[in-house]
Structure 1
Amino acid sequence: MRQHAFGRTSFTVSEIGFGAWQIGGSWGDVSEADGRNALDAALDAGVTFIDTADVYGDGRSEKIIAGALGARSGPRPMVATKAGRRLNPHLAEGYTKANLESFIDRSLENLQVDSLDLVQLHCPPTDVFYRPDVFGALDDLRQAGKIRNYGVSVEKVEEALKAIEFPNVSSIQIIYNLFRQRPADLFFKEAKRRQIAVIVRVPLASGLLSGKISRDTAFARDDHRNFNRNGDAFDVGETFAGVPFEVGLQAVEEIRRLVPEGASMAAFALKWILMNEAVTVVIPGARNEEQARGNAEAAELAAISADTMKAAQDIYARLIAPHVHQRW
C-alpha cells in the first residue's frame, strides 16, 4: 500500500486508512469484538492511519482502538481523534480553551497516550472559523504537549478554505466521493499548494457506493441511515453524502457499469478518490474483517482510465450535482 507524507507533519500514512465511526456507534449493532477484529484486519493489511472521535459511542471507539493497539507490537499507526461535538448546545461560544482541553484530556485517557497525534475540531459551527482565539488555544495545547498536531473536520468547502488560512492547521477532513466532487474544483489545489494533509471521509456515501444497498435494505433504528436521512440529528450531508436516496440508487446502477471486471464497486469508488493526488488518506469504515480487507484491496487496483473518469464525472454532473454541488 502506498504511503503519503501527512502534510507538513512528521508522519507518513497509508493511502487507505480506517474510519472508526462504525465501531463506535450510530451504524446499528456492531459488537466490540467485531469492531476490534475489523481494526486488526485493517492494520494487518497495512493501514497506518486511524480516524476516530470522542463522541463515537461516547468514547467506545477510542477505547477499542487503545485496546487493539496495546495488544500489538511493532510501529504504531497515526491515530487522529476529534473534539467539539460533546458541547451541548453545539455553539461557537463553547469552543473555549478550557472546554477543548477537557475534551482532549478525556481522549488522552481513552486512547491511553500522553499526547494525541492529531486532534481535529469536529465540524464546528461556521463562526469558529472566524475565531482566531480558538486556533490560539490549540496552539497553546500543542505547546503544552497534549497534542502533536491539529486540523479541522469540515462540512463545507468554504470552511476548509478558511481553516487553512490559520498557519498551524495541519489537515482538513472533508467529504469527497463520486457523489461529492466539489472539493476538487478549488480546495484540493490550495491544500496541495500549502502542504495541507487531506483526509477524505464518507468515501462510500454511507454504503451506497458499495453497490450493496437497495430500496429494500432495512436499517436498524440506531443506524444514522435510518434516523438522519433528512438531517434530523446532524448535517444531512453525512448520510448518503446528502444525495436523495432514490437518486443515489439510480446513479449507482450507472456507475456499476464502469467497475472493472473482478473489482468490487466499493474498491472502485475508493480508487476513484485516490486518483486525485491531493488526497492524503481516505478513511472508509468497516463493521467486520471482510469489509476491512475489502477496503484495503482498493490500493491494488490499476489506475482508472481517463475515459472512465470522464464517464463518472458525467454521471455526477447529470444526476447528482443539482442536489449537492453548491450546498457543501
Structure 2
Amino acid sequence: MAHQGDGGDAVLRPRPLGRRERRFLRRGARSRWCGLSRHARETDPGRPHAIRERRRGTGIGPPLGAHRRRRLARPARPPAPDVRRGRGAARPVRCHAAASGGLGGESRDQDRGVRSQRQGGGLRHASRRPASVPAAEGRDPQDRRATGRHGLSRHDLLAPRRHARGAGQAALVKRRVLGRTGLAVSPIGFGAWAIGGNRFGNSYGATDDAESRRAVRRAYDLGCNFFDTADVYGHGHSEKILGESLEGIRQDVIVATKVGGNFYNRDVNPLLLPRLTEALGRPLAQVASDAPLPVTHDANFSPAYVRFAVERSLGRLRTDYIDVLQLHNPALGLTANPETYGVLEDLKEEGKIRSYGVSVHTPEEGLAAVEVTRPDTIQIAYNVVRREAEDRFLPAARAANIGIIAREPLANGLLAGKYGPDSAWEEGDIRARMPRPYLTQIAALGERVKELADQAGVTAAQLALRFVLDNESVSVVIVGMKTVAQVEENLSLER
C-alpha cells in the first residue's frame, strides 16, 4: 500500500525483514570466494578466459576543432529538480563555462585540471567536501540504524511525484549527483554490456537488436538518464545499438563509455590467424585496418590509441561528445600514474569529453585512483556478495567527492533468483567460463536472496539493487539489461 508523504511523495512499504534476514545482509556476511584468486573469479570482455588469461559508424556530427566556438555541452536533462534534499528551484549543473575555456565550470580548486609538466607528481586536488558529506567513514552496523526496520533506506523507497507529462517524455525520478562532475544522474543506470550481443563470446548470450533498442527507450521513458557501455562490448556493437536507440534524445541523457581494450590490433600471434579467418569469413589481410577484430588481443592506454578509440566510439554512438569517458581496467601502475590522464585532459579541453574516470577491479586500484586525484569518477564492482569496497575505498572516494559508479549489483545475474547451482549457459556466455565452485556458491546465495525478497514482497533483483542503493556513497548503480521486461522490473524501484 502506498501512502502520501510530504510534497506528494509516495512511500512504498514492503513487508519487513526479520532478524534472520537482516543478519544475512549485515556487515561481515561475505563470501570466501572458494579460495579462488581474483583473476579466476572475474570475467571481462577484455580477458577471453577467466583463469588462463590476465591479461562502422554513421551519423556523427561535424568534427570539433578550433573553428568551432567553445561552449558548454548541453546539460543532461534539467539537473536534479527532484533531489529530495533540495526541493526548490532547479540549480544548474555547470556554470562559468567561459572561465574554464572549455567544457565544464570553473573548479572550486585552482589546481584542479592543471596539466602536469610531465615531470613530478602532477597532482590535482580533489574538490572540497560538501558540508553535507561527513568525513570518511565505513559502512558499519550503526550506519544501518537510520534505515528503519526494513534495513532499507527510506529515500530509496520514495516514488516520484505525480507530475503530468506528455507522451514521449521521460518520467521524473529523483537524481543523485555524480561526484564533482556535477552531473545529475538517475540512481539506477542502464548497463549496456549485454546488448553488445554474443558474436564474439564476451557477453551474456544471444540478443535481439530490436528488443535491445526497445529496452533502451523504455529505460529512458521510466526516468533512467545514465547509460554505461564500452567499446569492447560486442566489439563496438553495444555502442552502435546505444547510439541508434538514443537518437533524438541524446541531449537528455548521460552517456558513459570505456576505452583501452584493443580489439583493432593487427599484430597477432600467428597461431590465431586461422581462428580469425574463420570468424571473419575472409583472410585478415582483406579486412580494413580500422575494423574491429573478433578477438581482444591486448590492452592499450597510450595517448595515440586512446584518441583513436575515442574517435571510433564517437562515430558508433552518433555523438560529438562523451559525457563520461572511462579507462577500462588499466593496471595498477597506470592507474596510479598521473601521466596516464594527460590525454584525457586534452580531450576534455577539446570538447570531446565532459569528464573522465577509470574502471577498476579491486579496492586497492580504486584507492590508487583516489590518491592520484585525477579521475572524476571510479567504477567498481559492488554487491551483497562483494563488499570489500566498503572498508576503505568507498569512504575515501566519498570524502574526495568522486562519483562512484557501482557495477555488477546482481553478480553477473546470479543474484537475480533465476539460477541454481546446476545452471548451464550457452557457449560464449561469460558465465560458462566461470569456475564451477564460484558459480555454485554465488547461486546458493542467490537462492537465499530470493527467499528474503519473497518475504519482503519484492523480486530478488530488486532486493539486491536496493542493497547497493542503500549506500549513499554510490552515485549510480548500473545493472545489465537487454529486454523490456528486465528494464521494467529493475526500474520499478524508481516508481
TM class, shorter-chain normalised? 0.7 to 0.9
Code of the aligned partner of 1:34: E
What aligned pairs does 1:120-139 form with structure 2 within 5 A after superposition?
Answer: 120-139=326-345
* Conserved 8 A contact 2:417-2:449: no
Q: Secondary structure of 2:472's partner? A: coil
SS at match of 1:263: coil
Deviates most, 137-146 or 81-90: 81-90
Identity %: 39
Alignment length, in residue pairs?
Answer: 285
Aligned equivalents of 2:471, 2:393: Cα separation in 1? 12
- Unpaired runs of 5+ residues, structure 1, are 231-239, 301-328
CA contact (8 A) 2:462 2:493 kept: yes
> 1:74/1:127 Cα in 2 relative to 1: closer, same or farther (>3 Å)?
closer
TM-score (norm 2): 0.55
CA distance in 1, matches of 2:388, 2:456: 28
1:33 aligns with 2:210: yes
Higher mean C-alpha displacement, 254-263 vs 146-155: 254-263
User: What do residues 243-299 of structure 1 show as CA deviations (whole Å, max 9, x unaligned)?
Assistant: 711111222233333224421010000001000000000111112100011110233
Structure 2: any 5+ residue segments left out of the alignment? 1-172, 198-202, 266-296
1:256 and 2:432 correspond: no
SS in structure 2 of the partner of residue 296 of structure 1:
helix
Contact 1:20 1:50 in 2 (8 A): yes
Tell me how far 1:185 sits from its aligned partner: 1.1
8 A Cα contact 1:176 1:201, kept in partner: yes
Aligned with residue 484 of structure 2, among 253, 275, 289: 289
CA distance in 2 between counterparts of 1:250 and 1:10 reads: 40
Residue 176 (structure 2) aligns with:
4
CA apart distance, 1:216 = 4.0
Residues 450 and 459 in structure 2, CA contact (< 8 A), matched pair in contact too: no
The structural deviation recorded for 1:160 is 0.5
Where do 1:74-89 residues align within 5 Å? 76-86=252-262, 89=297
Aligned to 2:323: 117
1:90 aligns with 2:298: yes
Call closer, same or farther: CA 1:224–1:102 in 2, change over 3 Å: same
Contact between 1:3 and 1:14, CA under 8 Å: does it hold in 2? yes
Q: Which amino acid aligns with 1:288?
A: T
The 1:74/1:154 distance shift into structure 2, 3 A limit, reads closer
| CA RMSD after TM alignment | 1.8
Structure 1 residue 73: Cα displacement: 4.4
Counterpart mapping for 1:10-25 below 5 A:
10-25=182-197
Whether the 8 Å contact between 2:193 and 2:480 is mirrored in structure 1 is: yes
Structure with greater helix percent:
1
- Does the 8 A contact of 1:271 with 1:299 survive in 2? no
Distance 2:465 2:459 in 1: 10
Q: Would the aligned equivalents of 1:69 and 1:76 in 2 still touch at CA under 8 Å?
A: no
1:206 Cα offset (Å): 1.0
Per-residue CA distance 1:68-114 (angstroms, 9 max, x = gap): 111x44852100000001265535xx321111100111111111111
Contact 1:200 1:283 in 2 (8 A): yes
Larger Rg: 2
Task: Name the structure 1 match of 2:380.
Answer: 174
CA contact (8 A) 2:217 2:245 kept: yes
The answer to whether the 8 Å contact 1:268/1:298 transfers is no
Distance 2:338 2:298 in 1: 18
Question: 2:194 is paired with a residue of what secondary structure?
Answer: coil
1:154 aligns with 2:360: yes
Q: Post-superposition shift, 1:63?
A: 1.1
CA contact (8 A) 2:421 2:441 kept: no
The letter for the 1-side match of 2:440 is: E
Letter in 1 for 2:466: K
In the TM superposition, residue 131 of structure 1 has moved relative to its aligned partner by 2.7
In the other structure, the counterpart of 1:187 is 393
Q: What is the match of residue 241 of structure 2?
A: 64
CA deviations 1:87-146 (Å, max 9, x no partner) are 65535xx32111110011111111111111111000112221233221112112211222
8 Å CA contact 2:360, 2:379 repeated in 1: yes
CA distance in 2, matches of 1:160, 1:267: 26
State the partner residue of 1:317.
none
- 2:192 touches 2:482 (CA, 8 Å); kept in 1? no
In the TM superposition, residue 167 of structure 1 has moved relative to its aligned partner by 2.9
Amino acid at match of 1:24: G
TM-score, normalised to structure 1, is 0.82
**Residue type matched to 2:470 in 1?**
M
Distance across 2 between alignment mates of 1:253 and 1:292: 21
